[in-house]
Amino acid sequence: MTTLATGSTTARLPVLDLRGVTVRYGNVAALSRVTATLPAGEITCVLGENGSGKSTLVALLSGLARHVEGKLMVDGEPVRFRSPRQARAAGIATVWQDLAVAPLLSVWRNFFLGAEPSRGHGPLRRLDLERARATTVSALARVGVMGLDPDAPASTLRPGERQSLAIARALHFGARALVVDEPTAPLAVPQQTLLLQSIVTARSQGLAVLLVTNTPRYAHLVGDRFLLLAHGQVAGTLTREDVDVADLTRLMAGGEEFSALTAALTALHPELGER
């Protein structure tokens, strides 16, 4: 955890900080001067219509897109990811919309993905299968997934369990920020509950969480902050105390009411315009 001493107080630096970030695809600005802060131990929900810039924001934080203006900061230091590997090395784990697993491999194989535990040394070194299975079961239980057979093929996992597997893996391997791109396919209530439970667990473990969602009801249920995007720009930055679920739903509807409510909230809370 990185802190910054200020006088007699110590301020915690946000894990991720975007300052006037612009991402272009050709001549099109997919993100334009976006400013947002993702503190540790908080869930920031990103909401907006299709084409609002949500996917580009995920791509930027995941190392798939690069900004041409502004700054992307990790622990107060500017970074420019050139690959997903660099983003992961910086502690940013991404759970994608259509999460790919190796369906014929076991659950525990998918959990470790090349980082399997071993025992012994030199020519006697071999896979520690018992530890791999136990670690997988324990990590999944940590995010609320109970009773899975670690030797079962990953194809037997339901959608919510697949996302939870990715979150459990991120927690186990020390991620500091979690980016969750909500699945495009609708989840049944038990699976949606499992996914949200896993996200809340990540927050409780001190991760900075960014959740992209089109569901204001779920966003307000778990979110601490709400970043509203429209046409690649920040249309509003609110907290749970600023809006109830009905307000958030109306904001998602867009149009004049969206602009008017955002302007009214900013007038009542001038600090919102500074975030």
Inter-helix orientation angle 129-142/159-172, to 10°? 110
The share of the chain scoring above pLDDT 90, in percent, equals 65
**CATH 1.10.10.10: does it fit domain 11-99+169-274?**
no
**How many other C-beta atoms lie within 10 A of the C-beta of residue 207?**
27
CATH 3.40.50.300 range(s) for the chain read 11-99+169-274
Model confidence at 86: pLDDT above 50: yes
pLDDT at 6 over 50: no
pLDDT, tens digit (0-9, with 9 covering 90-100), for 114-123: 888 898 888 8
Closest CA to 178 of 214, 220, 146, 222: 222
* Angle, helices 189-204/159-172, rounded to nearest 10 degrees: 10
Given the structure tokens 């991720």, which residue do they identify? Answer: 16
Q: Which residue has the higher pLDDT, 230 or 273?
A: 230
Q: Taking a C-beta distance cutoff of 8 angstroms, is the pair 161, 149 a contact?
A: no
pLDDT at site 9: 36
In Å, the largest CA–CA distance within the chain is 69
Query: Quick count: other Cβ atoms within 10 Å of Cβ 239?
Result: 16
Q: How far apart are CA 193 and CA 272, in angstroms?
A: 30
End-to-end CA, the chain: 21
Mean pLDDT of the chain: 87
Give the integer Cα–Cα distance in Å for 218 and 247: 13
pLDDT for 155 equals: 93
Average pLDDT over residues 104-120: 91
Alpha carbons 1 and 14: distance in angstroms, whole number: 9
Closest of 34, 2, 56 to residue 176, by C-alpha = 2
Cα–Cα distances (Å) from 53 to 17, 34, 197, 228, 257, in that order, read: 17, 10, 26, 10, 20
At position 231, the amino acid (one-letter code) is H
Query: What are the start-end ranges of the H helices in 30-146?
Result: 54-61, 84-89, 107-112, 129-142
With vertex at residue 180, the alpha carbon angle to CA 176 and CA 186, rounded to the nearest 5 degrees, is: 155
Question: Taking the model in full, what pTM does it have?
Answer: 0.84
pLDDT of residue 206 exceeding 80, the answer is: yes
